[in-house]
Amino acid sequence: MDPQAIKNRFGIIGNSPALNHALNVAVQVANTDLTVLIVGESGVGKEAFSHIIHALSARKHNPFIAVNCGAIPEGTIDSELFGHEKGSFTGAVESRKGYFETVNGGTIFLDEIGEMPLGTQARLLRVLETGEFIRVGSSKVQKTDVRVIATTNRDLLEFTQTGRFREDLYYRLSTVPIRVPALRDRPEDILLLFRKFAVDFAEKYKAAPVQLDEEARNLLTHYQWRGNVRELKNIAEQISVLSTDKQISGAHLRRFLPELNSNRLPVLANQNAPHNGSGNEFANEREILYKLFFDMKKDVTELKKMFLEIVQNPSTANVSAFAKEALLNDFSALGNNEYQPAHAPAPIHPNVVNHPQPVIFHNNDIHHHEEVEESLNIMDKEKELIIKALKKHKSKRKDAALDLGISERTLYRKLKEYNIDD
């Protein structure tokens, strides 16, 4: 079948080599019964490929059902997929057929299979290998003839190494893997997609389609699109509805791009580097924290230098013994150090101020020295910043998260991770 005809039929827009390759693989594997694993970030259109495979297969006249594995509670997913017998669990007031029974002869699309519980994975593996399943609460083995198409936006191979996904199931599912490229990896398709969405929304809302100037087109092409085609479609709809001027400039477009609109803290990451879709949020937060910690280290180094000069040259500054002791206490709190005895003062070398040196005090009020060596443990500093933010905002998570430059959901996760009681 002509690839362009397939694109027109299923609404696939784009001509990038990576997209065309994924489409060719889907067409080639469609008329077989092989299990297919579609891999790609959220929002790239993985479900469209599952419809292509089913529609071009010999099962096209039989049922097709899509199941979101992450949306079904762990306690009921076995019942949903394989059915249950009456009285097999609380609330099972009657027997029920599962999807593998009702879709016999058709195709089951398992969306985000990386979220499937391990127990259900074992049941699925048996279906894939033998075509057999057992209802929950039953001992009767039943047969089914179902083709499985699965998708994931996670690295399942990494999940197998951490015990979150069965390795045997992974290799059974990935008989034919199809990788759908992220939108930022096919920039030549971005303007085509936006134009299509703009025309569609203009017809829907009975308005003139929006037009982009050169700056807006460049901005759209170089934007990261972490939400991929779904995010682009949402932006196109917002602009179509909210813009009274249908000629969109770069400055006007920036107001609709959340990443450019809300980024208040410096980010050290390469903005042009590709993203793999997993852990990006935490990576950006970690880079911000690294910069904050390095700035803190620089400030502490300056404090060390000033402090040592005052202590060893008291004549150069009008500092009382009480003030020096107070400064010592504040400084030791910053460095989180312990006092240790010494017998000779350490010389000050401007070129090595980053290395902690023992300091001797001959003042009658101070009979000890301290070795300054601040902790640079990223986890400790992150926990400390979170606690400070919560105290500052009186345990209001939303305000604390905003101050830290992270989402409220991420803050909640880190409170659990560090066992912080707010």
**pLDDT interval class at 385 (50, 70, 90):** confident
Cα separation, 389 vs 400, in Å, equals: 5
| pTM metric for this prediction | 0.61
User: What is the pLDDT, as a whole number, of residue 281?
Assistant: 46
Q: Is residue 85 scored above 90 in pLDDT?
A: yes
Q: Does an H or E element contain 66, and which? A: strand 64-68
Tens digit of each residue's pLDDT (9 = 90 or more) over 317-339: 444 454 455 455 555 555 444 44
Segment 181-210 mean pLDDT: 95
* Spatial distance between the Cα atoms of 352 and 361, rounded to a whole number of angstroms: 21
pLDDT for position 103: 96
Angle between helices 17-30 and 46-55 (to 10 degrees): 30
Judged by DSSP in three states, 163 sits in coil
Task: Please report, for the chain, the start and end positions of each structural domain, with discontinuous segments joined by +.
Answer: 3-181, 184-262, 284-370, 377-418
Q: With bands split at pLDDT 50, 70 and 90, how would you rate the model's confidence at 89?
A: confident
For residue 1, pLDDT over 70 is answered with no
- C-alpha neighbours within 13 Å on the C-beta side of residue 320: 3
- For residue 148, report the phi and psi dihedrals to the nearest 5 degrees: -110, 125
Q: Average pLDDT over the chain, rounded to whole? A: 82
372, pLDDT greater than 70: no
**What's the average model confidence in pLDDT over 130-150?**
95
Q: Which CATH class is domain 377-418?
A: mainly alpha
Q: How far does CA 36 lie from the centroid of its chain?
A: 24
* DSSP character at residue 170: H
User: 12: which residues sit within 8 A by CB, 6+ positions away?
Assistant: 6, 19, 23, 45, 48
The confidence score (pLDDT) of residue 249 equals 94
CATH architecture group of domain 3-181: 3-Layer(aba) Sandwich (3.40)
Assess if CATH 3.40.50.720 describes domain 184-262: no
DSSP assignment of 116-151, as one string?
S-HHHHHHHHHHHHHSEEE-BT---EEE---EEEEE
Residue 188, SS3 per DSSP: helix
CA angle 367, 313, 296 (to 5 degrees): 80
